[in-house]
Amino acid sequence: MKIAMIGAGYVGLVTGTCFSELGNCVLCVDNDVEKIKKLKKGIIPIYEPGLDELVHKNTKAKRLSFTSEIEEAVQVSDIIFIAVGTPPRENGEADLSSVEKVSSIIADVMTEYKLVVGKSTVPVNTGKWIKRTMNIRNTKGIDFDVASNPEFLREGSAINDFLYPDRIVIGVESERAKSILYELYKPIDAPILVTDIESAEIIKHASNSFLATKISFINAISILCERAGADVKKVAEGMGLDKRIGSDFLNAGAGFGGFCFPKDLSAFIKIAEDLGYDFRLLREVEQINEEQKKGIVKKIRENLWNLRGKTIGVLGLSFKPNTDDIRYAPSIDIIGELIKEGVKIKAYDPKAMERTKKIFPNITYCKDAYEVCDGSDALVILTEWDEFKNLDIKKVKDLLKTPIIVDGRNIFDPETLKEIGFVYTGVGRK
C-alpha cells in the first residue's frame, strides 16, 4: 500500500518505518526541512533501539523515503496518516492547529479517494473536525474517509510494540476504511478492535490516564509503606499477582515523565472539563506525581541535613531507560530544585546528556557513573538504566565522600547496601 506519514516526529518516524518494514511504500513528510535533509542522509534525529537499522534497511529497499513536500505525498498515497505534533497549550488542552492545517492541505490537493487516519493523540471529536475541515474545502466532491488509529508505542521499545502489540484499535465510519486498515494490519498478529471514531480517540487518552493512575496509586502506597515500615516492592508484587490488577506499571519511584503521560493527563482533564465533567481523580493523579518528585528532594535533604555547597551525583536523566528523551523527566524538576538550594550537580546518563546540556549547561557531566560518584556527598538514582543496576557497588562506596544513596527507582536491594555500609533510602522501602 502507498502511505503518507505526515509528521516525522517520534510517532510518525517509528510508525512509518515499521509500515515500510511490513512491505508498504511509505513517504514520511515533515515541514522541518533540516530534519528531512538529515533523514535523507540516514541521520536519525532520535535514539530508539533498532530504529536506525530499520530506517536504513527500508530506505535502501526504496520502501521508505522522506520529503518536506506534503502535496506530493498526498497525491501519491492511498492512506494518509496524520502524526503531527499536538503540543499542550498553557491550559493543558492540545494545540490542534497543525492537524487542521494538514487536513486543509489534503482536501485541497486530493484528486481521488483518500483514507485520512489520525495517529496523533488528539481530543475526542478531532475526527469530526478533520472531516468538517476537509468537507468545506473539498469543492470537487472527491470521496474520502476519516479514521482514528491511536498508537500505543512506548519509547525505548517502540518497534517491538508496533510489531507485537496487545491490540490494534481502529475507529472508522465506513466499511471501505475498515477493510483498508484491516488489510494494512494483516501481517500483524494481534486482536483488532473496530469502533466508532470517538471511542477510538477516547481509548487512547483513557489508556494513558489509567496507566498514570496506576503509577500514582503505587506511589501513594509507597508513602504508606515508608510510614508503616512495609516494602512497596513486596506490596506491588502481592497486588500484581491478582490477574485483575496485573503487575505492570506498579513500580513506585521518582514519578512518571515523558511527553505522553503528563501531556495526555492534562489534556484529558481539559477534555472532561469541556464535556462538563470535573475529572477529580486525574487531577489527584497529577498532584501525587508532583509530590513524588518533591519527595525525592526531601529524602536527599533528610540525608544530607544542609544542602548548600554539597555535591550530589545524579545517575539517570532521561524520563525512563533506553531513550534520550528528557521531556517532563523527573530529573529536570529534581535537579532544578537542588540547584535552587545551592547544590553542585555531577550527572551521567548513557544517552540523554546532550539534550540535558541545553537545560542545565552549568552542571558537571561525567563520562560514567564512577566519575559521578567521585567526591560526591550523595548519589541519587533517577533512571533505572541497566548499567546502573550492575555497578561495582563497593567501588561506588569508596569513591563517594559519604556513602549515601537515594534510590529514586528502587534498583538496589536495601539490605545488601546497608550491609556494605551505605546509608540507603529507596522509595516506599524500610
Q: Looking at 18, 25, 28, 260, which residue is catalytic?
A: 260
Nearer to ligand UGA among residue 121 and residue 266 (C-beta):
121
Nearer to ligand UGA among residue 360 and residue 385 (C-beta):
385
Place of cell 475526527: 127
Q: Is 154 in the site for ligand UGA (CB under 6 A)?
A: yes
Query: C-beta of 239: minimal distance to ligand UGA in Å?
Result: 12
Which segment (19-27, 136-144, 145-153, 355-363) binds ligand UGA by CB under 6 A?
145-153
Which residue in the set 153, 267, 335, 378 belongs to the binding site for ligand UGA (CB under 6 A)? Answer: 153
Q: Is 293 in the site for ligand UGA (CB under 6 A)?
A: no
Which residue in the set 260, 267, 314, 382 belongs to the binding site for ligand UGA (CB under 6 A)? Answer: 260
Q: To which H or E segment does residue 38 belong? A: helix 33-40
Query: C-beta of 107: minimal distance to ligand UGA in Å?
Result: 27
Nearer to ligand UGA among residue 67 and residue 121 (C-beta):
121
Secondary structure E strands in 252-335: 311-315
**Which of 372, 156, 369 lies closest to 257, judged by CA?**
156
Query: C-beta of 261: minimal distance to ligand UGA in Å?
Result: 5
- Are residues 367 and 301 in contact, defined by beta-carbon separation less than 8 angstroms? no
Which residue in the set 261, 268, 348, 388 belongs to the binding site for ligand UGA (CB under 6 A)? Answer: 261
Q: Is 388 in the site for ligand UGA (CB under 6 A)?
A: no
Nearer to ligand UGA among residue 110 and residue 353 (C-beta):
353
- Are residues 47 and 324 in contact, defined by beta-carbon separation less than 8 angstroms? yes
Using CB atoms within 10 Å of the CB of residue 290, give its burial: 0 to 12 exposed, 13 to 18 middle, 19+ buried.
middle
Site for ligand UGA in 311-340 (CB under 6 A): 319-320
**Residues near ligand UGA (CB under 6 A), total:** 21
Query: C-beta of 328: minimal distance to ligand UGA in Å?
Result: 8
Q: Is 253 in the site for ligand UGA (CB under 6 A)?
A: yes
25 is catalytic: no
Determine the 3-state secondary structure of 187 from DSSP. coil
Query: C-beta of 318: minimal distance to ligand UGA in Å?
Result: 9
Q: Which three cell numbers stand for residue 270?
A: 481539559
Which residue in the set 8, 215, 225, 400 belongs to the binding site for ligand UGA (CB under 6 A)? Answer: 215
Question: Whats the size of the chain, residue-wise?
Answer: 430
Strands 79-82, 25-29: parallel, antiparallel or unpaired by DSSP? unpaired
**Which of 79, 69, 102 lies closest to 2, judged by CA?**
79
Q: Rounded distance, CA 140 to CA 406, Å?
A: 64
Q: Is 217 in the site for ligand UGA (CB under 6 A)?
A: no
Determine the 3-state secondary structure of 326 from DSSP. coil
Which segment (193-201, 250-258, 368-376, 399-407) binds ligand UGA by CB under 6 A?
250-258
Place of cell 530499520: 54
Query: C-beta of 52: minimal distance to ligand UGA in Å?
Result: 18
Q: Is 408 in the site for ligand UGA (CB under 6 A)?
A: no
Q: Rounded distance, CA 114 to CA 71, Å?
A: 13
Q: How far is CA 344 from CA 24, 128, 292, 301, 383, in A?
A: 51, 52, 22, 14, 19
Q: Rounded distance, CA 301 to CA 189, Å?
A: 50
- Are residues 195 and 169 in contact, defined by beta-carbon separation less than 8 angstroms? yes
Q: Is 208 in the site for ligand UGA (CB under 6 A)?
A: yes
Question: Which residues are designated catalytic?
Answer: 260
Which residues of the chain form contacts with ligand UGA (CB under 6 A)? 121, 151-155, 208, 211, 215, 249-251, 253, 256-258, 260-261, 264, 319-320
